[in-house]
Amino acid sequence: MKKNEMRFDREELQILRDFERGEFQRIEDFEAEKRELEASARDAFREDSEINIRISSYDIEQLEIQAAHEGIPIQTYISGALHKLVSGRLKETA
């Protein structure tokens, strides 16, 4: 392989082909569109509610270990796990 040769996965190749065929359209007011999408993302992930739950001490210990492994606070870890659960991105392992 040449030093500057690029390798693409299947999805990247499809995007490149679509681009070369002219299937992408320029966004007229890109900055306004970007601001609107950023505001929507902020609103979607705003933490504006609070709950209290009881969790076994064993589960808390395991959550603390996993959060520490990820390098994030336990509440952030739990919040992220719950978000993945409700968005369908958390996969159960057996």
What is the tens place of the pLDDT at every residue in 26-76?
A: 889 999 999 998 888 887 777 778 889 999 999 999 999 999 999 999 998
48 domain-assigned: no
Residue 2, pLDDT above cutoff 70: no
What's CA 84's distance to the chain center, in Å?
9
Clarify whether residues 33 and 60 are in a common domain: no
Residues contacting 18, CB < 8 A, separation 6+: 24
Same domain for 60 and 37, yes or no, is no
3, part of any domain: no
Distance linking the first and last C-alpha atoms of the chain: 41
13 & 37 share domain: yes
User: By residue range, what is the domain housing residue 36?
Assistant: 8-43
The model's pTM: 0.51
What total number of domains does the chain contain?
Answer: 2
The answer on 92 and 71 residing in a single domain is yes
